[in-house]
Amino acid sequence: MTGIEVVAQAARAALDPDYAKSIKLTDRHGRTTTTRNDGSSVPQVTPAYLLTNALFAIDVAFDKYEEQNPHDKERRANWRRARSQLVDQFLGTTGIKSNSQFANPTIPKMTPVMIDMLRAQLWAHCPKSFVPPYEKCTWAREELLKKAEETLGGPLATTGIDVMDAIRKDPEGRRETERMMEYLFDSGSKNDALASMLASASDIIQVLRDDENLLPLYEVLAAAVDGSKYDDKGKLTEKSLVDAQMALLARVSGKYFDKDGKEICKNEVDPNQVLANVLGKLVTPIKDGDFKGQSPLEMIIDVIADVNRIDPSEEYDGTLQQKDYASVSKNVVEFLVDPQRGLEQFYEVIRQGTKF
């Protein structure tokens, strides 16, 4: 098929009410009718109407939000700007006529693969939806929808959205987050951040398939991020591991301002941001010498693994065995929780040293 034929069929599928009626298209509530902007009725809904209705529902949600939060008028504008930037990023073009091409070179490579994958999944789950009388694909229209609702309505997704919204409201936090994202995702940068991140993401996806061994780890992570506990009077009785770490970082690197907005450096733990500079150097690859290309953090991790193996005297080729992982994990845990010679003692030193 030519490109013109594909576009013509896509336009017909999106706009033709007769075609929508022939495939018994409805909205997610099972209705075949909808309304136009002027309130007049439309007898048959089409994919184009479904899309415009979704966009209208988003505007309605923003209207309600602005009524409840009159001080936050920038949220809608930020949303529209971000939506526009996403379209430019994935669908932007350069050149004209025969010289035109996608600005993002990965789009023409990714799109055929994604379409093939989608068609393969539809064929595997709903083979009778491809031929007349076009049976409804329950997998795509119900099962996937239910899973999406469960995922997006779950605590992980909703909390993640709350975190992003909090970053959005903090100009400095948003700016630093954007800098981090640019560093990680900029394919034109001179560092290896993007390649390393893609390789790590691929490894993580493969590891996540190992449910048997990951379930215990999930329980540990759940306990670490479990919310802080309060008594009946609202007094904090116990902080979660994540809350405690964030409080420590905020206390160490936070800035102190008086009521007039003037910074009071003498009341700050780290006015020169030494910790931020040290952490930056810690992950910066070494440029010269025998360890060129490695970051100090990688070297520290290698030393920890080498020293805390089950038998450090054994010949080591860089590959850890199961017993070595157990020994390293045990020593790391002891360092984190031991109140006398571990990180808890360091926290106590910081706590005593930051009292005013």
**Which residue, among 318, 348, 336, has the nearest Cα to 248 in the 3D structure?**
348
Distance of CA 354 to the CA centre of its chain: 34
Query: Which H/E stretch holds residue 230?
Result: strand 229-230
Is 262 in a helix, a strand, or coil?
coil
pLDDT band, very low/low/confident/very high, at 9 (cuts 50, 70, 90): very high
**Using CA atoms, how far apart are residues 161 and 169, in angstroms rounded to an integer?**
12
- Assigned token pair, 163: 């975190």
Q: How many CB atoms lie under 10 A from the CB of residue 45?
A: 20
Provide DSSP, 267-309: G-S-TT-HHHHHHHHHTSPP-SSTTTT--HHHHHHHHHHHHTS
Residue 36 has a pLDDT of: 86
Average confidence score pLDDT of the chain: 86
Rounded-to-integer distance, Cα 8 and Cα 121, Å: 25
**What tens digit of pLDDT does each residue of 18-63 get?**
999 988 889 888 899 998 878 889 999 999 999 999 999 999 999 9
Percentage of the chain with pLDDT > 90? 23
Comparing 82 with 134, the larger pLDDT belongs to 82
pTM score, whole prediction:
0.57
Across the range 311-315, mean pLDDT stands at 79
pLDDT confidence band for 356 (50 / 70 / 90): low
Residue 227: which pLDDT band, with cuts at 50, 70 and 90? low
Band of the pLDDT at 64, cuts 50, 70, 90? very high
The first and second tokens of residue 353, run together, are 């040293």
90 vs 103: CA distance, rounded Å: 8
Containing H/E element for 35?
Answer: strand 34-35
Report, as an integer, the average pLDDT of 83-89: 91
pLDDT in tens, 117-172: 999 999 999 999 888 888 888 898 889 989 998 888 888 788 888 888 888 888 88
Read off the pLDDT of residues 157-211 as tens digits, 9 standing for 90 and up. Answer: 888 888 888 888 888 888 999 998 888 888 777 778 888 888 888 888 888 888 7
Count Cβ atoms below 10 Å from residue 259 Cβ, excluding itself. Answer: 5
**Residue 310 scores a pLDDT above 90:** no
Mean pLDDT of 66-88: 89
Give tens-digit pLDDT for 330-351: 888 888 888 887 888 888 887 7
Look at residue 333 in the predicted model and tell me its pLDDT. 86
Handedness of CA 291, 297, 298, 299 (dihedral sign): positive
- Phi and psi torsions of 303, nearest 5°: -65, -45
> Which residue carries 């995702």 as its tokens?
185
Predicted confidence (pLDDT) at residue 10 exceeds the cutoff of 80: yes
Q: How confident is the model at residue 256 (pLDDT cuts 50, 70, 90)?
A: confident
By CB neighbour count within 10 A (0-12 exposed, 13-18 middle, 19+ buried), where does 27 fall? Answer: middle
**Helix, strand, or coil here: 41?**
strand
Which is more confident, 354 or 45?
45
* Whole-number pLDDT of residue 243: 81
User: Across residues 307-331, what is the average pLDDT?
Assistant: 84
